[in-house]
Amino acid sequence: MGQWLIDLYSSYESTLGYIGLNSLFALSVYATLCCGQLALGNAGFAAVGAYAAALVTMHAHGPFSLALFAGALAPAILSVPLGLPVLRLKGVFLAIATLGFGEVVRISLVNWDYVNGAQGIVAIPKLTSLWLIYLVLAAAIFVLYRLRGSKWGFALEAIREDEPAARTLGIATHRYKLAMLVLAAVLSGTAGALEAHFTFMVAPSGFTFLRAVDMLVFAVVGGTLTCFGPVLGAAFLTLLPELLREVSPLVGLEPGPLRLLANGLILLAIILFLPEGLASLPQRLVARREGGSG
Amino acid sequence: MGQQVLNGIFLGSIYALFALGYTLVFGVLDMLNLAHAAVFMLSAFVALTLVLRLHLGIAFALPLAVLSAALFGLILERVAFRPLRDRTDSNVAGLISSLAMATVFEAVALEVFGPNIARFPIGTLPDRQIAVLGGVVSVLKLGIIALALAIFLALTFLVRRTRLGRDLRAVAESPRAARIVGVDVDRVVAAAFAISSALGGAAGVLFALAFNAVSPDMGRSVELKGLSVIIVGGMGSMPGAVVAGFLLGVTEVFVVAYLGASWRDALSFAGLFVILVLRPRGLFGAASLREA
C-alpha cells in the first residue's frame, strides 16, 4: 500500500509541481493585468530569476534560500529600468515592447558563454519540494487577495477601468503600474528559480515568448477578475495534456497536435463565449438559471 | 558588398510583404492579428502540397496558395474577429482570439504534415545564377524581388485608385462614420483580412521557395520580426511597413556578416525598443495614434 502511494506520488509529482509553478506564472501576468497593463515580458523575468538562482547554487555554492532570494531580486531590479520607459505605452504596444524585452533576455543568454549559451546550466540539484512551491503560491495568493478592497486595490481597478480618469483623481498611476510590474517580476522570477531547482536545468529555449504567451493563456482561461482565476486556469491547462494523452489514441490524433488543438479551441471558446474565464462560470450559470425562471 | 545588399533586399522584400499584411489589418481594425504567421506557414504548406501531390508547376501553385491564404483570412475574420468587434476591450480580445486561431492552425499543420522540415522536389525551382551589380544572384531571388515589387505597386494602386481602397481608408479612419456614409463595413473588413492574409501567404510561399524549407514552426522567426517592422514603420502605415521591412532585411544581412548569426534576431528588437522609447508612432505613423 505504501509503495503504491509512493509510486503514485512520483508519477504525479511533476504535474503537481507544475500546477503550482504555472499558477505562479499566471499570477505574475495577472499582477499587471489587474491594473490594465498587458505586459508579456514575464518569460524574460522568469529566465533572469532562474539563471540568477542557478548561478548562486552552481557557481557560488550558496544556500538554497539565497538562490531563491536572488531569483526574486534580480528580475525585480531589472524591471525598474524596463518599466519606466515602457509603461508609458498602451495596449498592444506595451505587449509588444515587453515581448521584445523577453526575447532580448533570451538572445543575450544564448550568446553569453559564462552560462553556457544555448545549452544552459545543467545538473542543478533538486532542492525544490512540492510544499515549498505551494507555500510560495499561497503567499502570492494571499498578497494579491488582500489587494482587493484595499486602497491599493481600488487604485488598480481605477487604472484598469480608465487610466486618464484615475489620474485626474490624483492616483499616481505611474507608481502603481511600476509597482505591479515589479511584483510580476518577483513572482515570475521566484517561480523560475523554483523551477530551475525542480527540473535540474535552465536553458534559454525554455524562456521563449511562447512561454510568456502560455502564461497569458493560463490567466485568460482562468479569468482575470479575481486572483483565483489564473490559478484555476493554470491548474486546468496543466492537467489537460495529461488527460489528453489518455484520449489521443481514441481520437486518432498525435498527442502533440491534439494538445495544441485543444489549447487553441479552449482559448477561442473562452474568449468568444466566456470572456471572464472559467472562474466566472458559476456566476454565469446561476444568472442564467435565475434569468430563465424569472 | 553588393552581394550583401542584394541579399538584404531580397530578405527585406519578404519581410515587407509580411509586414504589409500585418499593418493592413491593424490600420483598418486596430487589432493585431497574431494568426498572420500561421497563415504564412499554412500557405507554404499548401504550395508544397500542390507541387508534390498534384504535380503543379510553381507558377500555378503560388497563386493558388495565395488564394488559399486569402480564404484562411476570411475564415479568421469571421470566426475570431467579427464576434469581438463591439467589445470595449476588442484589441486585447482580438489578440487572444487570433492567438487561439494561430494555435489551431499550427495544430492542423502538425497533424497533417508532421513536425519535420519538408522540401520542394528538385526541379521545382529555377537555380540559375546571374551576375548583377557586382554580385551573383540566383534567378529565383531576383524573381522574388520582382514579384514583391509588383505586389507593392498593385496594392498601392488598389488603395489609392479603387473604390475598395477608398472604403478601406474610410473604415480605418472611423468605422462608424464610414457606415453612415454607406460603406459596407463588414464587407470591407472581410476584404482587408483577405488581402492581408494573401500578402502573408505570398510572403510564406516565397520564403519557403527561397530557403527550400517548409515546417510548422517556420512562422516563428518572422512573427516577432514582423511586429518589430510594423512598429518601426508605424502601425497602420503601408509605406512604413515596406520601408522598415527592407531596412530590417538589409541590416540583418550585415549584422550576420559582421557580428555573427546569433545576434541577428536581437537587431529587430533593439530597433523596436529604440523606436518605442523615442518615437512610438514609428517612422511613418500618424501622430494621433489610437494607442495613446
pLDDT in tens, A109-140: 988 888 888 888 888 888 888 899 999 999 99
Largest CA distance in chain A: 68
B11 contacts: CB under 8 Å, gap ≥ 6: B249, B250, B252, B253
B7 contacts: CB under 8 Å, gap ≥ 6: B141, B253
- For residue A54, the model assigns a pLDDT of 92
Cβ contact, residue pair A260, B107, below 8 Å:
yes
Share of chain B above pLDDT 90, in %: 24
Q: Which of B97, B111, B228 sits opposite A257 (nearest CB)?
A: B111
DSSP secondary structure code for residue A199 in this structure: S
A89 near B CB under 8 A: yes
Residue A112 C-alpha cell reads as 553569453
Return the amino acid letter for B87.
R
Residue B214 pairs with which residues in a beta bridge? B118
Q: CA-nearest residue of chain A to B291?
A: A90
Return the amino acid letter for B114.
G
Number of Cβ pairs < 8 A linking chain A and chain B: 120
**Is the CA virtual torsion A275, A279, A280, A285 positive or negative?**
positive
Q: CA-nearest residue of chain A to B30?
A: A92
* Residues in chain A closer than 8 A to B102 (CB atoms): 264
Distance CA A65, CA A63 (A): 6
Distance CA A86, CA A74 (A): 19
Q: How many CB atoms lie within 10 A of CB B67?
A: 15
A69, burial (CB in 10 Å: exposed 0-12, middle 13-18, buried 19+): middle
* Residues in chain B closer than 8 A to A38 (CB atoms): 92, 95
Residue B158 C-alpha cell reads as 488598389
The position carrying cell 495568493 is: A141
Q: CA-nearest residue of chain A to B279?
A: A89
Is position A6 within any domain? Answer: no
- Classify B118 as helix, strand or coil: strand
* Residues in chain A closer than 8 A to B227 (CB atoms): 96, 99
Is position A2 within any domain? Answer: no
- For residue B125, the model assigns a pLDDT of 73
* Residues in chain A closer than 8 A to B263 (CB atoms): 107, 111
* Residues in chain A closer than 8 A to B270 (CB atoms): 104
In tens, the pLDDT along B137-188 reads: 778 888 888 888 898 888 888 888 888 888 888 888 888 888 888 888 889 9
Q: First and final CA of chain B: distance in angstroms?
A: 42
Within 13 A of B97's CA, how many CA atoms are on the CB side? Answer: 27
- For residue A291, the model assigns a pLDDT of 64
Helix (H) or strand (E) holding A21: helix A2-33
Distance from CA of B137 to the nearest CA of A (A): 31
* Residues in chain A closer than 8 A to B42 (CB atoms): none
Distance CA A67, CA A193 (A): 7
* Residues in chain B closer than 8 A to A265 (CB atoms): 100, 104
Q: Which of B106, B266, B292 sits opposite A104 (nearest CB)?
A: B266
Residue A247 C-alpha cell reads as 484520449
Using 50, 70 and 90 to split pLDDT, how confident is the model at B105? Answer: very high
Return the amino acid letter for A179.
A
A256 near B CB under 8 A: yes
DSSP secondary structure code for residue A206 in this structure: G
pLDDT tops 90 at residue A294: no
* Residues in chain B closer than 8 A to A260 (CB atoms): 103-104, 106-107, 110
* Residues in chain A closer than 8 A to B87 (CB atoms): 275
The position carrying cell 529555377 is: B126
Task: Report which of residues A236 and B265 the model is more confident about.
Answer: A236
Distance from CA of A2 to the nearest CA of B (A): 41
The position carrying cell 484595499 is: A150
Q: CA-nearest residue of chain B to A164?
A: B292
Q: CA-nearest residue of chain B to A111?
A: B262
B187 contacts: CB under 8 Å, gap ≥ 6: none
A265 near B CB under 8 A: yes
Q: If you write DSSP's letter for every residue of B122-167 in order, what string do you get?
A: TTSS---EEEETTEEEEHHHHHHHHHHHHHHHHHHHHHHHSHHHHH
Using 50, 70 and 90 to split pLDDT, how confident is the model at A161? Answer: confident
Residue A57 C-alpha cell reads as 547554487
Going from the C-alpha of B93 to that of each of A140, A269, A273, B130, the distances in angstroms are: 26, 12, 12, 49
Domain boundaries, chain B: 2-218
Residue B43 C-alpha cell reads as 500557405
Cβ contact, residue pair B102, A103, below 8 Å:
no
Inter-residue contact B21 to B199 (CB < 8 Å)? yes
Q: Which of B83, B111, B276 sits opposite A272 (nearest CB)?
A: B83
A38 near B CB under 8 A: yes
Distance CA B122, CA B150 (A): 27
- The CATH number linked to A174 is 1.10.3470
In tens, the pLDDT along A192-215 reads: 999 999 998 899 999 998 899 889
Mutation target for B interface from A119, A272, A273, A276: give the one with most B CBs within 10 A: A272
Q: Which of B100, B276, B291 sits opposite A91 (nearest CB)?
A: B291
In tens, the pLDDT along A45-103 reads: 999 999 999 999 988 888 999 999 999 999 999 999 999 988 888 888 888 889 889 98
Is position A1 within any domain? Answer: no
pTM here is 0.88
In tens, the pLDDT along A217-271 reads: 999 999 988 889 999 999 999 998 888 887 777 777 777 788 888 889 999 999 9
Nearest CA among B252, B251, B230 for reference residue B241: B230
Cα of A215 vs its chain's centroid, Å? 5
Inter-residue contact A110 to A204 (CB < 8 Å)? yes
Distance CA B78, CA A33 (A): 27
Going from the C-alpha of A66 to that of each of A71, A136, A181, B52, B281, the distances in angstroms are: 8, 15, 22, 58, 43
Mean of the pLDDT values across residues B111-140? 77
Using 50, 70 and 90 to split pLDDT, how confident is the model at B292? Answer: very low
Structural domain span for residue A200: 11-293
Inter-residue contact A52 to A70 (CB < 8 Å)? yes
* Residues in chain A closer than 8 A to B75 (CB atoms): none
Distance from CA of A286 to the nearest CA of B (A): 23
Inter-residue contact A62 to B241 (CB < 8 Å)? no
Distance CA A152, CA A174 (A): 13
Distance CA A124, CA A202 (A): 8
Residue B130 pairs with which residues in a beta bridge? B137
CA Rg, chain B, in Å?
A: 19
Number of structural domains in chain A: 1
Is position A98 within any domain? Answer: yes
Cβ contact, residue pair B100, A265, below 8 Å:
yes
Least confident of A42-46, B213-217, B263-267: B263-267
